[in-house]
Amino acid sequence: MFQLEKNHTTVKTEIFAGLTTFLSMAYIFFLNPQILGQTGMPVGGVFLAAVLVSALGTLFMGLFANVPFALGPGIGMQAYFTYTIVFGFHFDWRQALGIVFLVGVADLIITLTHGRRAIVKAIPNELKAAIAGGIGIFVTYIGLKNAGFINFLVEKANAISGWGTDSITANGGVTPTLANFNNSSVLLALIGLIILIVLVLKKVPGNFLLAMVITTLIGIPMGVTNTDINWGTSFVQTFSDFKEVVFAGVGPKGVWSLFDNWQDIALVIATVFAMGLTGLFDAIGTLIGIGEQTGIFTKEDQKEFAENRAGFSTRMDKALLADTVTTTAAGLLGTSNTTTFIESATGVGAGGRTGLSNIVTSIGFIAMIFVSPLVSVIPNAATAPLLILVGIMMMSELKKIAWDDLQVAIPAFFTSIFMALSYSISYGIAAGFIFYILVKLIKGKVKDLNPVLVVVTLFFLLNFVLIAFRMAA
């Protein structure tokens, strides 16, 4: 069924590879509830939703595409869900789940109609790299904040209205400053970051999960880790919480409420596009990046994918379809967008070449349900270092940008750096597209502009105009 001999692998190798991928990804199930829980979502429900979506998606990927790539809620998309859609755009978490569902449906339609080829070809390579690198900066920034390494000082004028108690001259705004390392939680996060860096550089298997566990244990004598846990009650509470999130995104307070206000419709569409675009590049980047190096995807696979032939005959086509189907399921079950995890590279590095390793990884994910009570135990100080290092890894994409060429550097800067400074992935993408077109117009290179990119940019501009009118009102 999995064509082990053809793919030069064995059952033993695939099992070991599946376990390796599981250990590399298990940390995500503790990180995901912490990030999404800030929106008001019940953390037990988010945990269970993430486990089920990841297990089902990874199983589908293995059986349908026969490739060793595991799926789970993407860290960048978790940040997008919480800090951009809910905190930035002020949508309710149920509406945010509705947007995730719409992203999945839109991506599914694009994938089934092979429209992804037009989108992928429309975006210049330097902007694709800037998007990936920018998300890395954004995620790292969030990790630094969650660790407590960065504090925010606000003017006394704002402090009177309840914004803060510190004083600083910053033109009436908020200014970040380095924390004083005299707090137990901050010190624990620093210890955790050092432990994680050591384990990663030493290439210890399951380094992310191991670092999180060690940091959590160190936090017990420091008084940071919560040890007050009732296994029976917490386990029941997890399933009770799950009832609140499952199908909430497609309920009356979810996707249907997004269209109550016509002024929000353009924002919803722009958000769906930006999330879908980011997820598409993330999936293709991971699949091609790992698949090319290992021979999982042959040159014929890549050629057929690029030529946009009809059907889903290649493993790459099937893998991308599995990726989009899983995101749709995420919106239904109650978690943020899923993606093909780069951590799958650990399993591939251990010899995984087929979907059999995914079966093993899926079983590991299901087993995570039995440790759901531990979600409330893991402190922010143990998960924040993971965000910081994942962000650093994602920033490697920025090396693909020719920063010494201003025609490339200007739009790339606004895509990547502005993404973190504006605290919004979609705003970063929009700014990058706008300045890319502006640079081309100034240089008289109108013929270089892809019509798809122009239409998308005009839509982003329309969205900004509507936001301006809404704020003015």
Helices 451-472, 425-442: crossing angle, 10 deg rounding: 120
Residue 269 lies inside a defined structural domain of this protein = yes
Domain count, the chain: 1
Q: Mind listing the pLDDT tens digit for each residue in 387-436?
A: 888 888 878 888 989 999 999 999 999 988 888 787 777 778 888 999 99
Residue 5 lies inside a defined structural domain of this protein = no
Task: Read off the pLDDT band of 259 (50, 70, 90).
Answer: confident
Residue 3 lies inside a defined structural domain of this protein = no
User: How many Cα neighbours within 13 Å face the side chain of 307?
Assistant: 11
Task: Read off the pLDDT band of 234 (50, 70, 90).
Answer: confident
Handedness of CA 14, 19, 24, 30 (dihedral sign): positive
Higher pLDDT, 132 or 54: 54
Domain housing 57: 11-148+183-472
Under DSSP, is residue 350 helix (H, G, I), strand (E, B) or coil?
coil
Spell 304-322 as b/e; 16+ CB within 10 A means b: bbeeeeeebebbbbbbbbb
- What integer best gives the mean pLDDT of the chain? 84
Handedness of CA 427, 430, 433, 437 (dihedral sign): negative
Quote the pLDDT of residue 131: 84
Rounded to whole angstroms, the Cα distance separating 375 from 16 reads 26
Q: Which residues pair with 176 in a beta bridge?
A: 152
Spell 166-186 as b/e; 16+ CB within 10 A means b: eeeeeeeeeeeeebeeeeebb
Residue 408 lies inside a defined structural domain of this protein = yes
Q: Mind listing the pLDDT tens digit for each residue in 197-216?
A: 999 999 887 788 899 889 99
Q: Could you tell me which residues come within 8 angstroms of residue 303 by beta carbon, excluding any fewer than 6 positions away? A: none
Rounded to whole angstroms, the Cα distance separating 41 from 245 reads 8
Residue 329 lies inside a defined structural domain of this protein = yes
Residue 171 lies inside a defined structural domain of this protein = no
Q: Which of 2, 157, 54 is nearest to 369 (CA)?
A: 54
Rounded to whole angstroms, the Cα distance separating 169 from 116 reads 48
Handedness of CA 141, 146, 151, 157 (dihedral sign): positive
Residue 406 lies inside a defined structural domain of this protein = yes
pTM: predicted TM-score of the whole model, two decimal places: 0.76
Residue 192 lies inside a defined structural domain of this protein = yes
